[in-house]
Amino acid sequence: IGLLYQEYRDKSTRQEIETRRLQDSQTDPDESSPSEETPSEAEPTSTTESKAPPQISLLRNSNSRFNLWQDLPEIRSSGILSILQPDEIKLQEAMFELVTSEASYYKSLNLLVSHFMENERLKKILHQSEAHILFSNVLDVMAVSERFLLDLEQRVEENIVISDVCDIVYQHTVNHFSVYITYVSNQTYQERAYKQLLQDKPAFREVISQLELDPKCKGLSFSSFLILPFQRITRLKLLVQNILKKVEEKSDRETTALDAHKELETVVKACNEGVRKMSRTEQMISIQKKLEFKIKSVPIISHSRWLLKQGELQQMNGPKTSRTLRTKKLFREIYLFLFNDLLVICRQIPGDKYQVFDSAPRGLLRVEELEDQGQSLANVFILRLLENADDREASYMLKASSQSEMKRWMISLAPNRRTKFVSFTSRLVDCPQIQCVHPYLAQEPDELSLELADVLNILDKTDDGWIFGERLHDQERGWFPSSIGEEILNPKIRAQNLKECFRVHKSDDSQRRKLGSRNRQ
């Protein structure tokens, strides 16, 4: 495998985007190319590395320019392609990509260790504790990847037609992949330590820059190597999803793929929670210090509480029907802190402090949009607290700075209200869809970070360029700029995407139904 994982992953996702574009432009989705998630070609393997990655026998020729399963000389010469059904060939490609991408990932991990971590100059600059924070348990992660890759290699060597890979994924996820949770949970400390080292140690900055310039790194940054494990565990789940979409329904291979996906989902969720836990705790402590209570004090810090959204809004003074004043004096600034279970309403006071004058449980909030009543009342909505800090019902007429900001607040305050295109309780609706063609990093808690080729249902959109969407592969919801994606216009492709989504998550849905019936009983 000549490509570093960063290159492999980029080629793979861009190929996926192009395939979906091709499908979207056709009337029949089945007319599209069978190669959906595979990079176009690999480069010759470098022989300069100190430790060679495990080699898959089918890929040992370093001058090979293939990396589709059906392009392997052994496959072409066997005549098997004339016997297998097109769907089985697609499945073979999906399983083969899981194997080759793991080899590429191992190659990049090996470079992180041999080229950066074990560099003698870097070792002298870094204190042992700094090196530990920076590289964490990457040696454990690499050992797990090597063991996983060797088992996948052995399976590929058993037969030119791959029987299955998801059983191997399942075993390794259950028994070994906990090392990913440890590594990813350290990410916040890792990022902070890296920034601090760049700032405080010129010698560190110089060595890292020199190492990055080495041709082995192919122009990739040191930080792109550090985030590999998190990217891989997330991508691995998507690769299993891709296999799951192609296996025969109600078959043993479907059962195995569902089991592997479920275990990977558990690991990915634990990784995400590990990353969030530290930053959330720090954020809650910071907010607590800024609040002064005019009403009865509410304890802010809790292990089960986190911030969803914060910001300034304009509160309308006087009666709702007042239209006599058309100036900004009609409104007064207030500041909201919305947590997953609590709303705190404040006014900003000197010294970067906030005086709390009302609060309510999030479950007792209701919102209502006002129809446009002229410019001074544009982007205005009603917030009702069914039970506020004084145990009474209270209403606030609030004005946002833009249409998108108003909608974002309304959805955050009352998440179960119906959106423009689809009700949250209904998933069997053909709503608009979009695929991500430019990655996006969330800037606010109510936004969604997106990777290339992510597909989302569009739940709501604003006139000023924002979309509220639900990502199909994990049902995560959030806002993002409309400029990062392309809408999927073909209704057949949208229906196919939804069908595949339901199939991938059907075990989750059946589990939820069982829990729901137990709760009702």
pLDDT for 242-284, tens place per residue? 999 999 999 999 999 999 999 999 999 999 888 888 788 889 9
Report how far residue 135's alpha carbon sits from residue 132's, in angstroms, rounded to the nearest whole number.
5
Q: How many C-beta neighbours within 10 Å does residue 291 have?
A: 16
The answer to whether residue 495 scores a pLDDT higher than 50 is yes
Check whether 396 has a pLDDT greater than 70: yes
CATH, domain range 424-515: 2.30.30.40
Tell me the average pLDDT of the chain.
85
User: What digits encode the pLDDT tens for the residues 402-419?
Assistant: 999 999 999 999 877 666
| pLDDT number for residue 258 | 95
Lowest mean pLDDT among 16-25, 316-325, 388-397, 499-508: 316-325
Quick: pLDDT tens for 173-184: 999 999 999 999
Give the pLDDT score at 329: 60
Maximum CA extent, the chain: 84
Tokens (6 digits) for 332: 């007064």
Residues 205-229 have a mean pLDDT of 96
CB neighbour list of residue 317: distance below 8 Å, 6 or more residues apart: 329, 330, 331, 332
Confidence of residue 10 (pLDDT cuts 50, 70, 90): confident
Q: Fold for domain 64-286?
A: Dbl Homology Domain; Chain A (1.20.900)
Contact yes or no for 268/237 (Cβ under 8 A): yes
- What is the model's pLDDT at position 188? 87
Query: pLDDT > 70: what percent of the chain?
Result: 83
What fold does the segment set 294-413 form as a domain?
PH-domain like (2.30.29)
Using 50, 70 and 90 to split pLDDT, how confident is the model at 63?
very low
Reply yes or no on whether the pLDDT at 225 is more than 50. Answer: yes
Domain spans of the chain? 64-286, 294-413, 424-515
Rounded to whole angstroms, the Cα distance separating 411 from 425 reads 14
**Rounded to whole angstroms, how far apart are CA atoms 2 and 47?**
10
What pLDDT does 516 receive? 43
**Residues 434-463: what's their mean pLDDT?**
93
Residues 385, 393: contact at Cβ < 8 Å? yes
The pLDDT of 178-206, averaged and rounded, is 94
pLDDT score, position 394: 95
Distance CA 473, CA 461 (A): 20
Residues 90-110: tens digit of each pLDDT: 999 999 999 999 999 999 999
Residue 47 has pLDDT above 50, yes or no: no
Residue 479, classified by CB atoms within 10 Å of its CB into exposed (0-12), middle (13-18) or buried (19+), is: buried
What is the pLDDT at residue 521?
36
User: Is 429's pLDDT higher than 80?
Assistant: no
Distance from C-alpha of 397 to C-alpha of 382, rounded to nearest angstrom: 5
- Which residue would you say has higher pLDDT here, 73 or 323? 73
pLDDT given for residue 2 in this prediction:
74
Q: How many residues does the chain have?
A: 521
